[in-house]
Amino acid sequence: MAATSLSHLYGQLSSNNICSPPILNRSRSFYRPIVSMTTIMEQQNKSYWAAIETQIDTHLKKSMPIRPPTSVFVPLHHLTFSASKSTAPPLCIAACELVGGFADDAVTAASAIHLMHAAAFTHQHLQLSDGPMHEGSTVEHMFKPNIELLTPDGMVPFGFELLGLSEQAQKNSDRILRVIIEISRAVGSQGVVDGMYQEILHGKLKGVDDEEMMMYVCEKKEGELHACAGACGAILGGGSEEEIEKLRKYGFYVGMIQGMLNGIGKNKQERFEIVKKLKDLALKELELFQGKNVDQISTLLEM
């Protein structure tokens, strides 16, 4: 998706900040309803997403028990579970269910997406010789920089290994290969890494008009990762090509909203107008699924 595809939404924006994923409350659930009033419906949604989150955590813990050499596996475990929670992995499972698949079909892909996210999160906060990667980072460092450098280097291939070893790889090798390509692109040099690059290169230029760059970084770091999650869930659930593309676009809007509401400058009033428009666009993508249970997946727009 081109950087300019959403530029019409940003006419009113006057922020010079670059959006970033949330860096506080990193171990808490990703579920943060915008409206504080608790209703029965809200509780049900909370339970739905909490159950998915538990399923992903359980799958990851089972897949990577702490074992020798503990000097490797203790940091791997810690950095995997202490990274901020992203909405992308649960979206992957919800998309799979929406097209008629089972949650189990997508749990490995969701776990792999979390590993990629946790690896990027850890490197984003690494202490380099010319200063920290992320300005104003409040992340506590449990390990020395060399360990925080190398551990994510193990997380990323581990995510691909999980996909290759999954039950789906036996049953539907073509689907898993497609998911491997989707995830590679979303997290690599044309995806999350590109967003992190541009954030570094342009993020510190104060006083310049970088609204478009902020949008580009948001698209790369959050939009495309969530788009990938939606598409992967639909692929693994056996969705049609049309369903896959609709859930890719839905995921993209969810990611953009997450980036805008939880990144730097998240309390700017102008953002709420843009988020409202993004929500409308997202809901439009779900129209294809009329008659199916779209209520659950659409509550991601309220988080």
- Give 96 or 217: the residue with its C-beta nearer to a second copy: 217
CB 18 within 8 A of CB 264: yes
> Per-residue string for binding with a second copy, 171-190, x by CB under 8 A?
--xx-xxx-xx-xxx-xxxx
Tell me which residues in 90-129 interact with a second copy (CB under 8 A).
116, 119-120, 123, 126-129
Judge if the upstream peptide bond of residue 69 is cis by omega within 30 degrees of 0: yes
Number of residues this chain uses to bind a second copy (CB under 8 A): 58
For 46, phi and psi rounded to 5 degrees? -60, -45
Give the shortest CB-165-to-a second copy separation in angstroms: 6
Give me the residue label for tokens 């581990």: 158
Contact status: 291 vs a second copy (CB under 8 A): no
3-state secondary structure of 128: strand
Considering only the stretches 41-49, 160-168, 206-214, 223-231, report the one whose residues sit in contact with a second copy under the rule CB under 8 A.
160-168
Considering only the stretches 46-54, 90-98, 153-161, 256-264, report the one whose residues sit in contact with a second copy under the rule CB under 8 A.
153-161
Contact status: 73 vs a second copy (CB under 8 A): yes
Give the shortest CB-174-to-a second copy separation in angstroms: 6
Q: Enumerate long-range contacts of 190-197, CB under 8 Å, 24 or more apart.
A: 191/220, 191/224, 191/225, 191/228, 192/116, 192/120, 192/220, 192/221, 192/224, 192/225, 193/120, 194/220, 195/219, 195/220, 195/221, 196/120, 196/123, 196/124, 196/220, 196/221
Contact status: 193 vs a second copy (CB under 8 A): yes
- Residue 269 CA to residue 201 CA, distance in Å, equals 26
- Give 11 or 188: the residue with its C-beta nearer to a second copy: 188
Tell me which residues in 4-43 interact with a second copy (CB under 8 A).
none
154: Cα separation from own chain's centroid = 19
- Give 159 or 297: the residue with its C-beta nearer to a second copy: 159
Contact status: 169 vs a second copy (CB under 8 A): yes
Rg of the chain in Å (alpha carbons): 18
- Give 76 or 275: the residue with its C-beta nearer to a second copy: 76
Among 158, 250, 252, 289, binds a second copy (CB under 8 A): 158
Beta-carbon contacts of residue 167 (< 8 Å; ≥ 6 apart): 104, 108
- Residue 239 CA to residue 294 CA, distance in Å, equals 15
**Interface residues with a second copy (CB under 8 A)?**
69, 71-73, 76, 116, 119-120, 123, 126-133, 144-147, 149-158, 160-161, 163-165, 169, 173-174, 176-178, 180-181, 183-185, 187-190, 193-194, 196-198, 200-201
